[in-house]
Amino acid sequence: GNSVTQMEGPVTLSEEAFLTINCTYTATGYPSLFWYVQYPGEGLQLLLKATKADDKGSNKGFEATYRKETTSFHLEKGSVQVSDSAVYFCALSFTASGSARQLTFGSGTQLTVLP
Amino acid sequence: DTAVSQTPKYLVTQMGNDKSIKCEQNLGHDTMYWYKQDSKKFLKIMFSYNNKELIINETVPNRFSPKSPDKAHLNLHINSLELGDSAVYFCASSQEYGGRETQYFGPGTRLLVL
């Protein structure tokens, strides 16, 4: 079946440090890949996405590249800020039935950035 | 200009009660979803509706019953609430474009069963 494996947290970094959160997936076919972010006490927000191999999604300084050969979609940011502290979810989207797609999420990675 | 909204934001209730959570989207999307996030932040899909028809129905107790009165609304009714139902419930919506789609999430409803 389809699954997403995410780097276990929590991750604690100092401000301006480099961030990598690893994500690998197992899927049949060619899923779309997403990173969602959940700030404390809030809902999920789409951070970035990629819909085909070698696509790079980017937003707010975060980047992730869809790597079909390694089935990975690692999230990176060159210089994190305190405001980036949140839980990050990697997810893949596939067609479950009919025209509805289903998101399968990783377990989430808690990021804390210290000033 | 809220895209996906849920009410209530917080819900505290006693075991055995029946409660409903409402979701509305103003994005014109055809598909809506309910997800459950447990205390360890793990997210799992519960239901999906496409144009008011049930498409995905994961292994969820039949105490949970979704209802979609129209394309813009997907409500979740829960009968005989149990302690284990305490979680954050997220509504989402999406629209398929050229074989690809993105799901947009509501702010969540934090349910606590005492």
When pLDDT is cut at 50, 70 and 90, the band that residue A70 belongs to is: very high
Is the Cβ of A88 closer than 8 Å to some Cβ of chain B? no
Nearest to A8 by CA among B113, B36, B40, B28: B40
Q: CA–CA separation, B7 vs B4, rounded Å?
A: 10
When pLDDT is cut at 50, 70 and 90, the band that residue A57 belongs to is: very high
Residues in chain B within 8 Å Cβ distance of A110: 41
Dihedral sign computed on CA atoms, order B99, B104, B109, B113: positive
> What tokens were used for B68?
């979609």
Residues in chain B within 8 Å Cβ distance of A97: 55-56
Q: Do A38 and B103 touch (CB under 8 A)?
A: no
When pLDDT is cut at 50, 70 and 90, the band that residue B81 belongs to is: very high
Arithmetic mean of pLDDT over chain B? 90
Mean per-residue pLDDT, B62-79: 93
> What tokens were used for B34?
């309910």
Q: CA–CA separation, A86 vs A99, rounded Å?
A: 32
Determine the residue of chain B that is closest to A39 in CA distance.
Answer: B107
When pLDDT is cut at 50, 70 and 90, the band that residue B52 belongs to is: confident
Which position has the token pair 């419930």? B89
Lowest mean pLDDT among A27-41, A65-79, B73-87: A27-41
Which residue in the set B53, B101, B108 is minimally distant from A101, CB to CB? B101
Residue B109 near residue B88 (C-beta atoms within 8 A): yes
Model confidence at A77: pLDDT above 90: yes
Q: Do B105 and A98 touch (CB under 8 A)?
A: no
Mean per-residue pLDDT, A35-55: 91
- Which among B37, B89, B104 is the top mutation candidate for probing chain A, defined by the most A β-carbons within 10 Å of its own β-carbon? B37
Share of chain A above pLDDT 70, in %: 94
Is the Cβ of A65 closer than 8 Å to some Cβ of chain B? no
- Residue-wise pLDDT tens digits, A84-112: 999 999 999 876 555 556 788 999 999 99
What confidence score (pLDDT) does residue B60 get? 86
Is the Cβ of A87 closer than 8 Å to some Cβ of chain B? yes
Residues in chain B: 114
What confidence score (pLDDT) does residue B32 get? 92
Q: CA–CA separation, B44 vs A99, rounded Å?
A: 19
> What tokens were used for B78?
């829960």
Q: Do A43 and B108 touch (CB under 8 A)?
A: yes
Residue B94 near residue B102 (C-beta atoms within 8 A): yes
Is the Cβ of A26 closer than 8 Å to some Cβ of chain B? no
* Better-predicted residue by pLDDT, A112 or B54: A112
When pLDDT is cut at 50, 70 and 90, the band that residue B97 belongs to is: low
Residues in chain B within 8 Å Cβ distance of A46: 102-105
Dihedral sign computed on CA atoms, order A56, A106, B114, B67: positive
What confidence score (pLDDT) does residue B95 get? 82
Amino acid at site B36: K
Residue A42 near residue A27 (C-beta atoms within 8 A): no
Q: Looking at the complex, report in whole angstroms how far the Cα of residue A93 sits from the nearest Cα belonging to chain B.
A: 8
What confidence score (pLDDT) does residue A96 get? 58
Q: CA–CA separation, A110 vs A91, rounded Å?
A: 15
Residue A24 near residue A109 (C-beta atoms within 8 A): no
Q: CA–CA separation, B85 vs B83, rounded Å?
A: 5
Amino acid at site B17: N
Residue B71 near residue B79 (C-beta atoms within 8 A): no
